[in-house]
Chain A
Amino acid sequence: MLNILRHLLLRRCLQAGIVALLVSTVCFFLMHSLSGDLAFRIAAGRYGYDMVTTAAAEAVRAELGLDRPLLQGLLFWWQQLLQFDLGDSYLTSAPVIEEIREQFGHTLQLAISALALSIVIALPVGLIAGLNPHGWLDRVSLALSVVLRAFPPFLLGILLILLLSSKLGITNAANASHEHGGLLLPALTLALGLAAVSSRVARDAMVEVRRSAYFNFARTKGLSDLLALLRHGVRNAAVPVIAYLGVQLVFLMEGVIIIESLFAWPGIGHALAHAVFGRDIPMIQGTAIVMGLLFVLCNTLVDIACLVADPRQRYLATRRADT
């Protein structure tokens, strides 16, 4: 078990490093593609437009290594990254790390609420639909899931705003920012998209479980449908749902960028879109790297969760690691 874990973590760490380097390199070239003298631009951001002098610009140039040739500049840029120095924002001149720490909590809150809400919606629907395949609930949930999946997060967001806030008056769209506790709409938007897939995965897993020998044996030995489901069904049905969460993370991550912008949720995705708009390269680099690393981390957690939930995978992974 430890052996597999070490193998897995090593591979993921390598991946994380390459992700950070890749994003950072793109940002470096981005910086050099901006028009105008970069040193003056950064000095203006730091000291205000009235205080920009040639001396200030030269100081910035020397500090950030902008006077070096391209390749040397890139090495210097990487070196700063390796020292975990993400620099200061061009717009607010606050350290990028500080800003991200502030936004990250908001994003995490949104993402976790969305995940939890999606599981609360998807698992019961999927399991009950799986109990009676081709019944009416199964058909309705299939149709709903196809349609929901066809709508990307921001379309779902718009539709929810239009439906809930303007027609039914449940929450006012103007109130849907974080200050008013408007977590419901953005989280629900993401959760519906996630649940569209998870409910089908849970349903298929449930059908599979009901067809299996161990489930029939549990029924034969006298367990009630519900008890057999709880003892033998849920855990087995959970494995594909957990494994699918890994695939779903892409959806969640992309959704976070868009949904935060739509609902003005002050998280990391909103910050990224804002930074791209303002050409704030340290912020772009910081937020993109954090999102990339977060993604690698989540995938690692999903891998580990699968290993824990499913002994068969543990066995297979041991054999793979041995050979």
Chain B
Amino acid sequence: MIGWWQSLTLARRSGAILLTLIVLTALLGPILVTDPVSQDLGRVLRSPSLAQPLGTDHLGRSMLARLVHALQLSFSLAVLSVLSAAIIGISLGLLAAWRGGIIEAVLTSIADAVMTLPVLLVVLLFSAFAQGEFWSLYIGLSFALWVEYFRVSRASIKATLVSAAVESARMLGFDRLYLLRRHLLPALAPVVVTLMLFGISSAILALAALGFVGVGLRPPTPELGVMMIELFPYYEEAPWLIASPVVTLGLIMLALALLGGRKEMP
């Protein structure tokens, strides 16, 4: 563990620390703070104080409570859809690489087409099925994200299948499950982890962007994008209110980008 930590660059370390803090807030926050939807119309647009560290919004709701609930929502949706996308993508990639032939051709051309469409467009299409519902966003995100795992796993498994190690394991009579567990998946794991980080960041982003445009989750759900558009009209009177979801989303993106170590950012 310590050795792994020391092998990281400074950027990755700071990304990891930042992300851990944010995830801890998302996990523990909702237990500690009050209800995010209870209104107190006598105390609207209050500036930050000891009782309300981030102030109250235009309906007198606690900003801190709304923010931590929004964080929890974003992360759970993102992790859920990325996990489903990875499982579906890797299984189909395995199927395509192992079977080949017509199955592979059909799957590859579908993946090619989905890959062509921007993630946001696909999620937007699916969100029209049941606007403002959690499940339509979840299905849209999974459908947009599975292709990356499919392409990567198909390429990696194809390469591993023809390697000398797999060939000898086959000759020794090991079954398919063993090959999968000991040869195919370990070769795949590092790439998939990186892909998942990017997937989580684009899922969180798509959720917030759709909420912001007004076709994602609906008020009064505490969600980052929805909060931004709700608080946007009040930026003259209460700039700190719009600042908190904006800064939060910026920090999440920054943490994931630093941890993922994008190539274009040495």
Contacts and interface: CB of A to CB of B under 8 A. Distances in A.
Chains A and B belong together in one complex:
yes
Nearest to A11: B112
A19 B118 CA distance: 11
B129 A33 contact: yes
A106 to B, nearest CB: 17
A147 B254 contact: yes
A155 interface: yes
Interface in B208-266: 208-209, 212-215, 225, 228, 232, 235-236, 239, 242, 246, 249-250, 253-254, 257-258, 262, 264-266
Given A26-B125, A158-B228, A276-B127, A18 B109 contact: yes
Interface residues of A, number: 50
A15 interface: yes
Interface string B84-95: 000000000000
B183 to A, nearest CB: 29
A90 interface: no
Contact of A166 (B119, B236, B265): B236
Contact of B214 (A142, A277, A281, A284): A277
Contacts of B232: 158
Which of A19, A142, A279 has the most chain B CB atoms closer than 10 A to its own CB? A19
Which bucket holds chain B's interface residue count?
A: 35 or more
Contacts of A292: 116-117, 121
B215 A22 contact: no
Contacts of A261: 212-214
A145 interface: yes
B152 interface: no
Given A14-B109, A149-B257, A159-B246, A23 B213 contact: no
Given A200-B265, A261-B213, A15 B124 contact: no
A279 B131 CA distance: 9
Nearest to B124: A276
A204 interface: yes
A258 B128 contact: no
B114 interface: yes
Contacts of A279: 128, 131
Given A154-B225, A262-B212, 6 more contacts: A18-B109, A146-B258, A155-B249, A244-B264, A253-B120, A295-B116
